[in-house]
């Protein structure tokens, strides 16, 4: 039976609501292992080789022994068979939220994925609220927190665009909180201490126009070039977005289609879906302001 057959998420109009979910204990056909520091190089190599497929950019993850990483090995040759990671992402409505990622299995339709998910569920009861991203097809039978489509383009990268500034995460979070004091229903999840965030601010003082965006390392490469991931955007104009993107530290950038009003410089990519796990909310990304502003900085 699929792991998701035993999980359901009710509708809510609250800003945050916990979900009490009882998942059956994982079957004992697999030995679920917890990664230690000495396993990190092998796990990194496994994910680089098997995550995604040849049509997609190559993943080069940065794994940390402080994150919870579960994995399995084959019985025959003790090679890594499947992995999943659980790491702190940030706060949403003052609740700590964790990110589920690096979910990869060499074998499909074997039940291994469901067993890993069940084992992860059992090990994280004390830190239960999580989020995960599914690209491509949605999870069958589950309602996404948010769905949209990626677009991507090349950036100027080498220098800041005119009227553009690089901000520290502390400076950026001050501006975000000021914006949220006006637009209280803006969806916001993040942590100021996350080292993987680069903020760019563009402002035209004469016209009172501005844009603020966060770029994160996707840890994916194509053609030897690293791809950035735009995970937060707030602003009051269309032109500012293009300036902050051109000031990104990455040569290529993915962004949410909802933020881009002029697609002339952008290329369409595939769909993506964010799912909340063991919690839900009535707040929706891209619905809290007229320009679809939100942030999921993980």
Q: Which 3-state string (H, E, C) describes the chain?
A: CCHHHHCCCCCCCCCCEECCCCCCCCCCCCCCEECCHHHHHHHHHHHHHHCCCCCCCEECCCCCCCCEEEEEECCCCCCEEEEEEEEEEEEECCEEEEEEEEEEECCCCCCHHHHHHHHHHHHCCCCCCEEEEEECCCCCCCCCCEEEEEEEEECCCCCCCCCEEEECHHHHHHHHHHHHHHCCCCCEEECCCCCCCEEEEEEECCCCEEEEEEEEEEEEEECCEEEEEEEEEEECCCHHHHHHHHCCCCCEEEEEHHHCCCCCCCEEEEEEEEEEECEECCCCCCCCCCCCCEEECC
pLDDT in tens, 45-77: 999 999 977 677 989 999 998 899 999 999 889
Question: Does pLDDT of 140 surpass 80?
Answer: yes
Per-residue pLDDT at 78 exceeds 50:
yes
In this structure, whether the domain defined by 3-140 belongs to CATH 3.50.50.60 is answered with: no
| Predicted local distance difference test score (pLDDT) of residue 1 | 46
- With b for 16 or more beta-carbon neighbours within 10 A and e for fewer, the 254-273 pattern comes to bbbbbbbeeeeebeeeeebb
Domain ranges of the chain: 3-140, 148-296
* Same topology between domain 3-140 and domain 148-296: yes
Tens-digit pLDDT profile for residues 93-126: 999 999 999 999 988 777 888 899 999 999 999 9
Q: What is the mean pLDDT of the chain?
A: 92
**DSSP-assigned beta bridge partners for residue 149:** 271
Does domain 148-296 bear CATH number 3.40.630? yes
pLDDT band at 9 (very low <50, low <70, confident <90, very high): confident
Q: What pTM did the predictor assign?
A: 0.94
């Amino acid at each position: 039976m699929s792991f998701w057959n035993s999980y359901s998420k009710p509708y809510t109009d609250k800003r945050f609501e916990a979900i009490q979910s009882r998942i059956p204990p994982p079957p004992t056909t697999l030995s679920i292992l917890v990664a230690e520091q000495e396993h990190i190089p092998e796990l990194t190599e496994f994910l680089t080789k098997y995550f995604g497929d040849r049509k997609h950019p190559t993943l080069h993850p940065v794994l940390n022994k402080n994150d919870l990483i579960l994995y399995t090995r084959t019985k025959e040759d003790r090679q890594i068979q499947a992995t999943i990671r659980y790491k702190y992402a940030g706060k949403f409505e003052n609740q700590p939220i964790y990110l589920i990622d690096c979910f990869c299995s060499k074998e499909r339709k074997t039940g291994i994925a469901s067993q890993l998910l069940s084992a992860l569920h059992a090990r994280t009861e004390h830190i239960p609220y999580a989020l995960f991203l599914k690209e491509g097809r949605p999870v069958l039978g589950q309602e996404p927190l948010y769905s949209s489509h990626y677009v991507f383009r090349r950036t100027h990268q080498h220098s800041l665009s005119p009227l553009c500034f690089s901000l520290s995460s502390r400076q950026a979070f001050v501006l975000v909180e000021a914006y949220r004091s006006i637009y209280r229903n803006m969806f916001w999840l993040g942590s100021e201490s996350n080292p993987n965030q680069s903020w760019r601010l563009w402002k035209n003082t004469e016209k009172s126009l501005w844009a603020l965006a966060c770029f994160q390392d996707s840890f994916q490469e194509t053609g030897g070039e690293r791809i950035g991931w735009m995970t937060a955007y707030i602003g009051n104009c269309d032109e500012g977005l293009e300036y902050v993107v051109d000031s990104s530290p990455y040569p290529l950038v993915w962004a949410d289609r909802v933020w881009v009003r002029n697609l002339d410089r952008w290329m369409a990519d595939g769909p993506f879906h964010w799912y909340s796990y063991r919690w839900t909310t009535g707040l929706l990304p891209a619905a809290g302001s007229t320009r679809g502003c939100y942030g999921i900085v993980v």
